[in-house]
Amino acid sequence: MNIVVQKFGGTSVASLSTQLEVMKKVMRPYREGNKVVVVLSAMAGETNRLLALANEWVTTPDAAEMDSLVSTGEQVSCALFSMLLKNQGIRARSVLGFQAPIRTDCSFGKARIVDIDTTALFEMLEDHDVLVVAGFQGCEDGRRITTLGRGGSDTSAVAMAAALKAEVCEIYTDVPGVFTTDPNICSDATKIDRIAYDEMLEMASMGAKVLQIRSVEFAKKYNVTVHVRSTFSDEQGTLVCQEDDDMEAVLVSGIAYDKDQARITLVHVEDRPGVSAAIFSPLAERKILVDMIVQNPSKGSKTDMTFTVPKADIKQTLKVLEDLRYEIGYEDLLSSSDVSKVSIIGVGMRNHSGVASRAFRALADENINILMISTSEIKVSFLIDEKYTELAVRTLHKEFALHEGGIQQESCTG
Ligand code: ADP
Ligand code: ASP
Ligand code: MG
């Protein structure tokens, strides 16, 4: 049995007319005699609508009920799309997370897939040619519905492809592939034909929401080739795959930005062993993702600790730190949500220095102040004032000549 896995995002299933486009894409592998597993997102805007509804009801909605609520978006799109297919005489059915079943841990709102038992799926594929699977949702051992975090349908699809041993997982979206940066904010962005898992992982972690991070982790772990492409055209998209030598030839391959950042500073923390653990362990226990961390010595035996968290977690982070004020021993707690993170990414940076200094100069020439910096082997990130995000992205995109294929290692002098 040859299985093709295709995933369609929110804009692709947004209306009857776009769902008819989706149907055309599904018909291609179906007509070729493949079994097709179609993973769908909720119709565009629906997940946000449901989140807003809950937040209107209560200030801190119960996490498990929240997942029962937001997962309904995918149920609607799957049922509607299955109806369309059946109306064409295709043997299709919808499959919800608990029916597959997609088993997750019980971290409501950011659950991780632990296992997909394919027995039931293969049974369903005996009687059906197309399974329309609800993305974003799973179920935990206590049989409650869970969701996988924003953009989680990408992860559902790649996990499905890995479990069913499909050769490729096609991710259909509203852009024709992965670009050197978000094509919606930089008209010079160019499509990347092939991108290494590690690079894509950094792009996704640094904010390029075209793929959810976990989906790339799954793809890398299970060696699934991901083909990101448009629902609304037939052009070849981007293959996310194993790295090869050609990929290292380019110094910087992409620029990502993340406006979902908030900065927190603990002023005059006691500079003693164990203080970082006292601050960050309680946050880790609550699954709050701390990103950039900078420690600056200040007066005497004191230090200032600054770090970033997702905007959605700022209230909870401040509450945790306020409750621990005397245990940690700090003088003041400051926070700001008007910041964003801009990152330059490229496997070519591994064996080349000078990239960061070149970026500093380019940003300085535009009068953009850098608030924090963090680096890894293949990326450099800058925290800046949020209002300069687009300018910073365009400036760095131009600096590293991404509009014309990037800077080749040989011609680089930095
Ligand atoms: P879907 O609903 O299909 O999952 P998303 O909105 O989650 O789509 O992801 C697609 C969007 O990702 C694009 O519309 C684009 O604005 C954004 N994006 C950010 N960075 C990139 C990038 N480097 N390449 C392509 N798209 C990007
Ligand atoms: N509907 C969910 C969201 O909007 C999941 C997804 O689209 O991937 O985040
Ligand atoms: Mg998405």
State the Cα–Cα distance between residues 212 and 200, nearest whole angstrom: 10
CATH class, domain 3-174, is alpha beta
pLDDT of residue 411: 54
Taking the CA of residue 228 as reference, the ligand 1 atom at the shortest distance is 25
pLDDT of residue 164: 97
Report how far ligand 1's centroid is from the alpha carbon of 224 (Å): 20
Q: What is the pTM of this model?
A: 0.92
Which residues in the chain are classed under CATH 3.40.1160.10?
Answer: 3-174
Beta strands 302-310 and 254-270: pairing type? antiparallel
The CB density around residue 272, as the number of other CB atoms within 10 Å, is 10
Report how far ligand 3's centroid is from the alpha carbon of 282 (Å): 30
81 CB within 6 A, ligand 2: no
State the Cα–Cα distance between residues 44 and 378, nearest whole angstrom: 33
Q: Whose CA is nearest to atom 5 of ligand 2?
A: 151
Q: Which residue, 105, 38, 113, is CA-closest to 74?
A: 38
pLDDT of residue 410: 61
State the Cα–Cα distance between residues 97 and 109, nearest whole angstrom: 14
Taking every pair of C-alpha atoms in the chain, what is the biggest distance, in angstroms? 77
Instruction: Please name the amino acid found at residue 21.
Output: E
Which residues in the chain are classed under CATH 3.30.2130.10?
Answer: 247-414
Helix-then-strand count for the chain, H and E = 14, 18
Report how far ligand 3's centroid is from the alpha carbon of 272 (Å): 43
Contacts of 106 (CB under 8 A, 6+ apart): 140, 141, 142, 144, 146
CATH architecture of 247-414: 2-Layer Sandwich (3.30)
Residue with tokens 């800058």: 382
Ligand 1 pocket test, candidate residues 46, 173, 190, 260, most atoms within 8 A of CB: 173
Contacts of 295 (CB under 8 A, 6+ apart): 276, 303, 304, 305, 306
pLDDT of residue 272: 84
Structural contact between residues 361 and 395, judged by C-beta atoms closer than 8 angstroms: no
Contacts of 44 (CB under 8 A, 6+ apart): 10, 11, 13, 14
pLDDT of residue 414: 43
State the Cα–Cα distance between residues 149 and 244, nearest whole angstrom: 31
The dihedral built from the CA positions of residue 320, 321, 323 and 324, taken in this order, carries a sign that is: positive
State the Cα–Cα distance between residues 274 and 397, nearest whole angstrom: 41
209 CB within 6 A, ligand 2: no
Q: pLDDT tens track of the chain, all 414 residues?
A: 899 999 999 999 999 999 999 999 999 999 999 999 999 999 999 999 999 999 999 988 999 999 999 999 999 999 999 999 999 999 999 999 999 999 999 999 999 999 999 999 999 999 999 999 999 999 999 999 999 999 999 999 999 999 999 978 999 999 999 999 999 999 999 999 999 999 999 999 999 999 999 999 999 999 999 999 999 999 999 999 998 877 767 788 899 999 999 999 999 998 888 889 999 999 999 889 999 999 887 667 888 999 999 998 999 999 999 999 988 989 999 999 999 999 999 888 887 778 888 999 999 999 999 999 998 889 999 999 999 999 999 999 999 999 988 887 665 444
Task: List the structure tokens of 157.
Answer: 């699809």
Report how far ligand 2's centroid is from the alpha carbon of 42 (Å): 6
